[in-house]
Amino acid sequence: MTVPTTPGTNQPRLRLHVPEPRHRPGDPVDFAPLQVSVPGAQPRPDETCEAAATHPLCLDLVRVLGDDDLAHGPWDPRLDAATLVRMLRLMALTRAFDARMLRAQRQGKTSFYMKSTGEEATSVATALALAGDDMVFPSYRQQGLFIARGYPLVEMVNQIFSNRADKLKGRQLPIMYSARAQSVFSISGNLATQLPQAVGWAMASAIKGDSRIASTFVGEGSSAEGDFHSALTFAAVYNAPVVFNLVNNQWAISSFSGFAGAERTTFAARAIGYGIAGLRVDGNDPLAVYAAVRWAADRARANAGPTLIEHFTYRVEGHSTSDDPGQYRSAAEGGAWPLGDPINRLMRHLIAIGAWDAERHAALDKDVDEEVRAAVRAAEANGTLGHGLHHPFRTMFEDVFETLPWHLQEQSEQALHERHVKWPDWSDDADVGEAR
Amino acid sequence: MTAPERRLSMIEAINDALAVMMERDPAVVVMGEDVGYFGGVFRATAGLQARFGKTRVFDTPISECGIIGVAVGMGAYGLRPVPEIQFADYIYPGLDQLVSEAARLRYRSAGEFIAPITVRSPFGGGIFGGQTHSQSPEALFTHVAGLKTVVPSTPHDAKGLLIAAIEDNDPVIFFEPKRLYNGPFNGHYDEPAVPWSRHPDSVVPEGHYRIELGKARVVREGEAVTVLAYGTMVHVAREVAERRGIDAEVIDLRTLVPLDIATIEASVAKTGRCMVLHEATRTGGFGAELAALVQERCFYALEAPVERVTGFDTPYPHSLEWAYFPGPVRIGEAFARLTAA
């Protein structure tokens, strides 16, 4: 075999490697190379173990629910049936919310939406495994977290519709919620910036001798940002009480996980380099997600340090309503995903243990759909995007600073003036309406 | 009750402000590269770790992104972090956390979360720092909605402004002119250095006092021409005016955002002539903003074009530092043009 050489030398010609995903549109789908682990076969070290004891798990995949729909092995969190039903309901509610909001976007009631189909366990089971007042710094696909923490659906829809009741005053792109009362940080939209912030919050909690920990979410794609490295370095250096949830849903818009380094090793394996605990978990197995997060939260609470959890899952839908995944990946991937669907898996488990049946599940689906419909109806009364019922103009200039400096005062007067030129009879306060 | 007269250098005044605030408010924490045990490369945090403990004054990894990002998270918890960026030239890895996060957190969360952080950083040239230890990037921050930008020029102001910045509930970029740390600098680099102890503004009271953000100071009253300056250039402008016998009114802006427009307007209305002056590069510099404001608001009082005196649009050179610096010749010629017009 001859190796191509650079002209005039006997050196091999250098080649650039550009990653390519397994399946493009129209390709037959084969996920066999993923090497899915055997449920229940992964050891569960003590929460306060040396970080190195978790490192074999970074290359494994923690799973609890087996093909027999039963829970297996030491990671089984042994939750009672009532808790499992609650988890199921929250995931079903999240999926129903997503379906209704996609429809609302298609109907022109808002500009944008992002579904979390197939990833509901990563947010809902995580929320249930954390204490209710642990501070969470989410990325943009954790609607299940807000729902599980009891953030009112109508507040979420108000925000998505940017209407006059939107708590964020119509300033943020839809789904960039903020829920301080539920201990959830404001969502940025700039990627991975929340990671060092979560570490800082955790450090502050430790400085103050508090007992609350921080947790944060990032996608596998944005784990390539420098913020990820900064955050894990700080977390390791200060042994910060923080749980990092890296949701590996395989796709960052159209870029597969290989563009974030997945061809080389797992994302959980990055924990090894920082010397912190790491777990790699089946993100479509709600019991495994719950167990892993609970393990990491207990570890952080015991001053045993941070944990990086890779939630291995699949983004069933497009990145957002502005995305058409049919342009870049095989449409068969979602259905062929070897780890199944988290809601179906938990439903089957509950049926297998005799705590659920098809009739009750049908009633649940109807119930969550009605809950979402009611929230949307209530929110629509406050207006939808572009239909007039927004916050008053002057609010555009508020909250840039704590108080309004002269230059913003002048600019706000200009904005009001322009409005009066366009609509001479208009009154700023009329926009507020009765909702506020 | 009068405090005893006490003279400090600017670096000592900054250290004093940090100590006063750490004493008063347990939420204040100080962090940055080398700021802990060692006390900072310029000694701004000397003695603070020994006095307030390792969990309130600590070294950080060399990661400006991490330093600012962590400070934002601490602010969300309820702390009042005062991170140090060792040189303003190193601030860029933290820019996203400042511009996209700290600056907009109050706005995007409609006040649910705020970023009450004060980012201290030595800036400016005059110490042979070359292109990575001399920059003046203030215009990158004044351009950002939601950030306040402060530049002190004396020990007295440095302490009062830093205390006001730390107490402020908005993120503040606090640029400290490093050439002024140990003495005022009049632009004549070939003359012996002068310590702060002989300067009237080195009298720094004990304890807590504030200089409100957004208030300029008339350093030297005059009738012939208004000079708008901040940091090192305040001293240089004053010296050039006095050596040339020009009756200049020198205004130390102290805070760039929010700007004290009333003081500027009153002065230009009086003198009818205006020089805007900074060490930073020229194009898109804060001087352009000042010139535009003076033109918009004082046009009919102006008797000459606004003079813009700045550093050149090159990286800050090492061996040719003083050729870059907007020194007495550049300023003097601008004065001459202004007063001749």
Mean pLDDT over residues B117-126, rounded?
A: 97
Mean pLDDT over residues A184-191, rounded?
A: 96
* Domain presence at residue B197: no
B134 and B55 part of one domain: yes
B253 and B328 part of one domain: yes
A373 and A398 part of one domain: no
Whole-number Å distance between alpha carbons of A193 and A228: 8
A196 and A63 part of one domain: yes
B167 and B254 part of one domain: no
A286 and A334 part of one domain: yes
Which residues on neighbouring strands pair with residue B175, listed in sequence order?
B121
Spell out the residues 6+ positions from residue B112 whose beta carbon is closer than 8 angstroms to its own: A167, A178, A179, A180, A186
* Domain presence at residue B189: no
CATH of the domain at A162: 3.40.50.970
Say how many Å lie between the first and final Cα of chain A, rounded.
Answer: 77
Number of domains in chain A: 2
| Shortest distance, CA B28 to any CA of chain A (angstroms) | 11
Q: What is the ipTM of this complex?
A: 0.96
B116 and B261 part of one domain: no
| Shortest distance, CA A125 to any CA of chain B (angstroms) | 24
B153 and B104 part of one domain: yes
Per-residue pLDDT band at A388 (split at 50, 70, 90): confident
| Shortest distance, CA A90 to any CA of chain B (angstroms) | 25
Residue B28: is its pLDDT beyond 50? yes
Whole-number Å distance between alpha carbons of B317 and B319: 6
Torsion of CA A225, A229, A230, A233, to 10 degrees: 170
User: So what's the pLDDT on residue A7?
Assistant: 86
A220 and A278 part of one domain: yes
Is B315 an 8 Å CB contact of chain A?
no
B151 and B226 part of one domain: no
A339 and A426 part of one domain: no
* Domain presence at residue B175: yes
B220 and B175 part of one domain: no
B123 and B224 part of one domain: no
User: So what's the pLDDT on residue A434?
Assistant: 36
* Domain presence at residue A9: no
Neighbours of A302 (CB within 10 A): 12
State the pTM of this model.
0.96
Structural domain for B153, as ranges: 10-180
* Domain presence at residue A385: no
Catalytic site residue B188?
no
A205 and A258 part of one domain: yes
Whole-number Å distance between alpha carbons of A232 and A227: 9
Residue pair B241/B219 in contact by the 8 Å Cβ criterion: no
Residue A389: is its pLDDT beyond 90? no
Instruction: Name the average pLDDT for chain A.
Output: 95
User: So what's the pLDDT on residue B4?
Assistant: 64
CB contacts of A201 in chain B (<8 Å) are 73-74, 76-77
A372 and A398 part of one domain: no
CB contacts of A168 in chain B (<8 Å) are 108-110
Residue type, A37: S
Which pair of tokens denotes residue B330?
């550049």
* Domain presence at residue A22: no
* Domain presence at residue B51: yes
Neighbours of B182 (CB within 10 A): 18
Q: Which of B127, B144, B228, B159 is nearest to B6 (CA)?
A: B159
Torsion of CA B91, B96, B99, B100, to 10 degrees: -160
* Domain presence at residue B138: yes
B147 and B54 part of one domain: yes
Distance of CA B292 to the CA centre of its chain: 21
Neighbours of A165 (CB within 10 A): 21
Helix (H) or strand (E) segment spanning residue B52: helix B48-52
The beta-strand segments (E) located in B258-295 are: 274-277
Tell which of A401, A402, A403 to mutate to test the B interface (max B CBs under 10 Å): A401
* Domain presence at residue A32: no
Neighbours of A74 (CB within 10 A): 13
CB contacts of B261 in chain A (<8 Å) are 406-407
User: So what's the pLDDT on residue A52?
Assistant: 98
Number of domains in chain B: 2
A361 and A404 part of one domain: no
Tell which of B77, B92, B104 to mutate to test the A interface (max A CBs under 10 Å): B77
Closest residue in chain A to residue B258, using alpha carbons only: A405
| Shortest distance, CA A227 to any CA of chain B (angstroms) | 6
A204 and A346 part of one domain: yes
Closest residue in chain B to residue A174, using alpha carbons only: B108
A427 and A363 part of one domain: no
A404 and A307 part of one domain: no
* Domain presence at residue A272: yes
Structural domain for A359, as ranges: 43-323+330-380
| Yes or no, beta carbons of B70 and A176 under 8 Å apart | no
Whole-number Å distance between alpha carbons of B242 and B226: 14
Which pair of tokens denotes residue A33?
């190379």
B119 and B42 part of one domain: yes
Which pair of tokens denotes residue B120?
């201290």
Whole-number Å distance between alpha carbons of A277 and A265: 16
CB contacts of A198 in chain B (<8 Å) are 73
| Yes or no, beta carbons of A405 and B79 under 8 Å apart | no
Whole-number Å distance between alpha carbons of A289 and A282: 7
User: So what's the pLDDT on residue A427?
Assistant: 73
A76 and A173 part of one domain: yes
Residues A273-302 have pLDDT tens digits of 999 999 999 999 999 999 999 999 999 999
B117 and B220 part of one domain: no
Residue pair B335/B244 in contact by the 8 Å Cβ criterion: yes
